[in-house]
Amino acid sequence: MAENTQAKWYVVHTYSGYENKVASDLATMVESRGMQDLIQDINIPMETVSETKDGVTKEYERKVFPGYVLIKMIVTDDSWYVVRNIRGCTGFVGPASKPVPLTDKEVADLGVEKHSVEVGYKEGDTVKIISGPLEGYSGVVKTLDKENNSVCVVLSMFGRETPVDLELDQISLD
């Protein structure tokens, strides 16, 4: 197996209901073997669900992909062997001998990794839109939400103030 020095996210299939067991056993194995540089992160995507029954609303966490665990790792013979031999793990998603990493877009869509965008502007600053259909327009930052990668900019269009929601990297200081 060709070694890649860049850690990527891979999907591992598990027996139904074994996701937490596989994740904890793998974390223990990584710790005991000192493989933190090869297997860097283990994630079970969860979502919060609200359920109303008899007028009572309860919130609980449920697995987004039952039967799957996401692992950020550098694939080597050793790391592949450790993951494949965890009890409850049935194998990597992809061809049996060669795990297929998730694309950057898939990782972003899953929200597994949080990327923080450093911005040089704050609420009240005048900014210029540098990409998208409104490229070239200037406006004032109304709200800034770094956690959700969004910013609301008020543009003056046709004599009216129009709020526009954009991504953080679509604008820069004017």
User: Which one is the CATH code of 126-173: 3.40.309.10, 2.60.40.1930, 2.30.30.30, 3.40.50.1980?
Assistant: 2.30.30.30
Residues facing 171 on adjacent strands: 129
The mean pLDDT value of the chain amounts to 85
| Backbone conformation region of residue 136, classed left if phi is above 0, alpha if psi is from -120 to 50, else beta | left
pLDDT in tens, 45-84: 888 888 888 888 888 888 888 999 999 999 888 998 999 8
Write down the domain spans for the chain: 8-110, 126-173
Residue linked to tokens 């200037």:
138
Average pLDDT over residues 8-16: 92
Assess contact for 69 and 87: CB atoms under 8 A.
no
Q: Which fold has domain 8-110?
A: Alpha-Beta Plaits (3.30.70)
Rounded to whole angstroms, the Cα distance separating 97 from 99 reads 7
Residue linked to tokens 């297997």:
39
Radius of gyration of the chain (CA): 22
Residue 112 has pLDDT above 50, yes or no: yes
Cβ within 8 Å of residue 144, ≥6 positions away: 119, 121, 122, 123, 151, 152, 168
Average pLDDT over residues 83-112: 83
